[in-house]
Structures are given as structure tokens and as C-alpha cells.
Amino acid sequence: RGNGFGTSALAEEELITPPVQINYTQNLINGQFVDSASGKTFPTYDPRTGEVIAHVAEGDAEDINRAVSAARKAFDEGPWPRMSAYERSRILLRFADLIEKHAPELSALETWNNGKPYEQSLKSELPLLVRLFHYYAGWADKIHGLTVPADGNHHVQVLHEPIGVAGQIIPWNFPLIMFAWKVGPALACGNTIVLKTAEQTPLTALYVAKLLHEAGLPPGVLNVVSGYGPTAGAALASHMDVDKLAFTGSTSTGKVVLELAAKSNLKPVTLELGGKSPFIVCEDADVDKAVELAHFALFFNQGQCCCAGSRTFVHERVYEEFVEKSKARAQRRVVGDPFKKGVEQGPQIDLEQFEKVLRYIKSGIESNATLECGGGRLGSKGYFIEPTVFSNVKDDMLIAKDEIFGPVQSILKFKDIDEVIHRANSTRYGLASGVFTSNIDTANTLTRGLRTGTVWVNCFDIFDAAIPFGGYKMSGIGREKGIYSLQNYLQVKAVVTPLKNPAWL
Ligand code: NAD
């Protein structure tokens, strides 16, 4: 099938993407595309219209069993953990080159299934993907243990070994980037993987997994199963033969998978969960620049970012001007068909998220926040929502407490730095924060006071592969990216042998 351009409202000359085919809809197990064990499929949609674009194999517990067996065998007997780290590195480099070569098709498929603007996917997300696999290819042959002096009578080697079969569960908001954050470090360390994609966005992971095999990945090392959370996801989290679980999604599901892991084989779990990130605009801020950055911090990816700057705290001295300009900026935001040039915002992912966001907007209005602009649906089909700005938001309103995961900016007023640190930290989340100031002392005070895994100062959403990412408090456990994610995928083995003639330490 084509990507529906013929039927869309777009004029031919406005098309900016190559036509894309959906070639892979089956589960990828042991290097082969196969139907689900039950023979069942489920529909996947185009969020621009709500129409079905493909039927995908629906994996459940039996498919997870088959995928885990393949991964287990590939780990216990296969070449991947045993080959030279240099060779693993070269496969990852070849894979990065293939992603680069296929970037236009991959971006188009991502847009078709997820709704994010094609230009955003092609120009900012695909380069991050390539960079990430280059980065972890670079690590593959630099992971090594150490020796420790111990008591002088023993020779002690500390080996860093791959942890085994990794189970990985990812969400729908950045299907390809979440694939990369999980798969990159796990492969660099020599592990094998069973990855479950989000039911809303199964398509691009299957496409890139195929490219990874083209790059030389042995069969069984990466297995990709599509399916729903309570069936396929839960089976993976509770599987006795999975040695490690990595999850990204909502905090409530994070608790469920942590419990499943604990009740089965006590596999270690890393979690990347929700957030309610503060973006703090100080009194010395250049208001125009602050407005633009705060707008980006919230509205990027249709507001569907775990780290979205969803509480915009603005100093009272610049508050009025900031609100006026933020409203004007939101009204200028270009919303429309994400395949179209210049579009900044596409549809929300699905009907459930669309309705949830509209419910939060209603709650903001009912709690007497000031609706500056937006607030409703755009168009009559698909899941488009008007860029929405609330001012006069108070800390105890639902829109200031819950993760909305949509294009809804909440602007709050503050007076001084200690107060804003306290209020910014008064949340169960601690994923990220943004600080906008030209005063180095203010920046230092804020960066040390904020209890979040990332603090972006005068920037936001910088996701380079080398920068660790993860949450304090209920935003998660552990870090992804950077050197920190290697620890998630390694076991540490101490090998102790007596020294016959301790000569020197
Ligand atoms: P979700 O938790 O419902 O789904 C995430 C994944 O978990 C999906 O693959 C889903 O199928 C699976 N899942 C659902 N129930 C499961 C179960 N019982 N057992 C095992 N797996 C299960 O989240 P969502 O609503 O799809 O995604 C949005 C949420 O994800 C937001 O809250 C957002 O903050 C969070 N998120 C966090 C990050 C991060 O890096 N911290 C990144 C992206 C999204």
C-alpha cells in the first residue's frame, strides 16, 4: 500500500516525502518474519485520518516464548556475545550507514504511523538515530573490566560480561528513537534482545530491524514482537528466561512491570517514565527568546514528550509580556498534515490520547485557569488539537499536576528563586527541567536545587547520544544513553585467584 497521498487533501506539488510501502508486518523471530502463533493480527492507524493502514501480527505470550527461546539460544550458543567486539562494532556502523541511506523512507513511515511532522523526523530524529548507533559502535570495543589490588595475596580480575537476554518495551511517541536507546547499548555490550513495540506504532521498528540483519546481525540476536501491553508486554516482563528488563512508558505501567519482574525471576529493571517538567523563565530573561524556547519545550512532538516543559514558571516582572507573546506564538503555530512542508504540529497519536488531552483542557477551564488560546479540536477528522495556552495556572490544578501529553501550555507566576525551586520540586516526577536566565549565579542555584535527571539551561530537548537521560523520583530508575546505559546491560564478575608469590601490589 502507498502512504495515502493520493487520497489526502494535499496538492501533489506540496508533497515532500518519497512514497513508502509497508513491507514488514510480521513478528521478527530468529531472523525470520513470521505470523503470530495464534494467527491473529491487529490494525494500525494513520492518526491524520484514523484510517487503518495495515494489519500487523498480534504477538502474545506464545510469541514472546518463541522470541525469548531464540534470544536465549543466540546468547548461550550463538556468535554474537563471542565474536570480537571490533566485529560487533563494525556491524553497528554498517547499520548506522543503512539507516542514513533509508532515512527518507523511514521518516515517511514514522510520520504515517505516528503523525509527527516529516521534516522533524527526517531532520532531527533520524540524525539522532544514526549518531546513537555510531556512538555505541564506538563503545563496543572499549568495554572492559579491571583488576583490583584486594588483600595482596590474591589476583582479582573484575570481568564485565553481557547480562544475557534483554527484554525491552517501548512507547509510541518516538518509536525509532526509543528503539535506538534500548537496542544500541544492549547490542554494544554483546546481549541478545526481545523488543516489544507499542501497539500504536509497530511499523518502523520492524523496518530497521530488517536493516540490522542486512548489516550482518546474526539471527536470534534481535527479535521484535508487536502486540498489546497486558498480553505480550506482561509476558516479556514476567518471563523467567529474560535476564534484564528495560521499559519506557507511563509511571503506572512502570509499576506493573517492576512488580512482574520482581514476582518472576527478580530480573533487574530500568524504567523511563512520565514527567511534569518545569521550565523556569527568570526576570533577567530575554522574553522573546524565552517565549520561543518555552513554546518548543512544550509543543515539540505534539506535546507528546515525557520531558515536555509542561509547567512554564515565569517571573512576575516579565509575566504579562510573556503570556501575551506565548499566546501569539501558539496562534502562529502551523498545525496540519505532517507530510506538508513547514508544518510544526501534526495529530495526536490516537483517539484515546486525543480525548484525554481534551478532557484536561476542559478541567483547566473548569478550574478557572485563563484560556488564552486554543482549547478545541482542529478539523473534522484525525486527532488534531489546537495549540492551547493557559495562564493564571495554580499549582494545585490538575493541569499543573498531571502529565497531559498534549499541546497544552500551562503558565504559572513566581516571585523568587527559592520559591520556584520549591514549587518546581513539589511533584512526584523528576525527569527534566529547563532554566532560562543570563545570570550565572541564578543558573547555578537553580541547577543545583532542581531534583531532575536533566537540567537544560538556555536550551531544551538536547538528546545527544552521549548525554545520560532518566528520572529522579517517580520518573524512573536508571539512565539511558551515554556511558551510564552500558551498566544496565553488563554483569560484573569477580575472578579471584591466590598469588603464590606476592611480589608487589
Ligand atoms: P504505556 O505505559 O501504556 O505503554 C508503554 C508500553 O508499555 C507499550 O509498549 C505498552 O504496550 C506497554 N504496556 C502497557 N501495559 C503493559 C503491561 N501491563 N505489561 C507490560 N507492558 C505494558 O504508556 P503510553 O501511554 O503508551 O505512553 C505514554 C507515556 O510514556 C507517558 O506517560 C510518557 O511520559 C511516557 N514516556 C516516557 C519516556 C521517558 O523516556 N521517560 C519516553 C516516552 C514516553
Cα-to-centroid distance, 30 and ligand 1 (Å): 26
Strand runs (DSSP E) across 18-110, as ranges? Answer: 27-29, 32-34, 41-46, 51-57
Write out pLDDT tens, residues 97-146.
999 999 999 999 999 999 999 999 999 999 999 999 999 999 999 999 99
Out of 282, 306, 307, 386, the active site residue is 306
307 assigned to active site: no
Cα-to-centroid distance, 170 and ligand 1 (Å): 7
- What single-letter amino acid sits at 204? T
Bridge-based pairing state of the strands 192-196 and 222-225: parallel
Q: Which residue has the CA at smallest separation from atom 32 of ligand 1?
A: 250
Cα-to-centroid distance, 386 and ligand 1 (Å): 24
**Residue 254 Cα: closest atom of ligand 1:** 2
* 257 touches ligand 1 (CB under 6 Å): yes
Q: What is the pLDDT of residue 500?
A: 85
- Cell 501529553 appears where? 405
* 65 touches ligand 1 (CB under 6 Å): no
Write out pLDDT tens, residues 11-55.
344 556 666 889 999 999 999 999 999 999 999 999 999 999 999
* 238 touches ligand 1 (CB under 6 Å): no
Q: Which three cell numbers stand for residue 227?
A: 502486540
Cα-to-centroid distance, 81 and ligand 1 (Å): 29
Written as one string, the DSSP assignment of 123-182 is IIIHHHHHHHHHHHHHHHTT---EEE-TTSSEEEEEEEEE--EEEEE--SSSHHHHHHHH
Indicate whether 82 pLDDT > 70.
yes
Indicate whether 7 pLDDT > 80.
no
* 169 touches ligand 1 (CB under 6 Å): yes
Sign of CA dihedral 292, 376, 9, 6: positive
Cα-to-centroid distance, 471 and ligand 1 (Å): 15
Q: Which residue has the CA at smallest separation from atom 18 of ligand 1?
A: 230
- Which of the four pLDDT bands, split at 50, 70 and 90, describes residue 501? confident
* 248 touches ligand 1 (CB under 6 Å): yes
Write out pLDDT tens, residues 436-478.
999 999 999 999 999 999 999 999 999 999 999 999 999 999 9
Q: How far apart are the C-alpha atoms of 478 and 468, rounded to whole Å?
A: 9
Cα 233-385-229 angle, rounded to 5 deg: 5
Q: Is 381 left (phi over 0), alpha (psi -120 to 50) or beta?
A: beta
Write out pLDDT tens, residues 419-434.
999 999 999 999 999 9
The closest alpha carbon to 203, from 28, 4, 16, 19, belongs to 28
Q: What is the pLDDT of residue 1?
A: 34
Cα-to-centroid distance, 248 and ligand 1 (Å): 5
> What share of the chain has pLDDT > 70, as a percent?
95
Q: Which three cell numbers stand for residue 494?
A: 569477580
Q: What is the pLDDT of residue 151?
A: 85
C-beta of residue 334 within 8 angstroms of C-beta of residue 345: yes
282 assigned to active site: no
- What single-letter amino acid sits at 445? T
**Residue 251 Cα: closest atom of ligand 1:** 32
* 250 touches ligand 1 (CB under 6 Å): yes
Q: What is the pLDDT of residue 18?
A: 62
Out of 272, 386, 403, 480, the active site residue is 272
Q: What is the pLDDT of residue 503?
A: 65
Strand runs (DSSP E) across 197-273, as ranges? Answer: 222-225, 244-248, 269-272
Q: What is the pLDDT of residue 15?
A: 54
- What single-letter amino acid sits at 410? S
**Residue 174 Cα: closest atom of ligand 1:** 43
* 198 touches ligand 1 (CB under 6 Å): yes
Q: CA-CA distances (angstroms) from residue 311 to 157, 277, 366, 420? A: 49, 6, 18, 11
Write out pLDDT tens, residues 304-328.
999 999 999 999 999 999 999 999 9
* 168 touches ligand 1 (CB under 6 Å): no
* 259 touches ligand 1 (CB under 6 Å): no
- Taking CB atoms within 8 Å and a gap of at least 24, the contacts of 365-372 are 367/394, 367/397, 367/398, 367/399, 368/392, 369/393, 369/394, 369/397, 369/399, 369/410, 372/323, 372/326, 372/327, 372/330
Cα-to-centroid distance, 450 and ligand 1 (Å): 25
Q: What is the pLDDT of residue 138?
A: 98
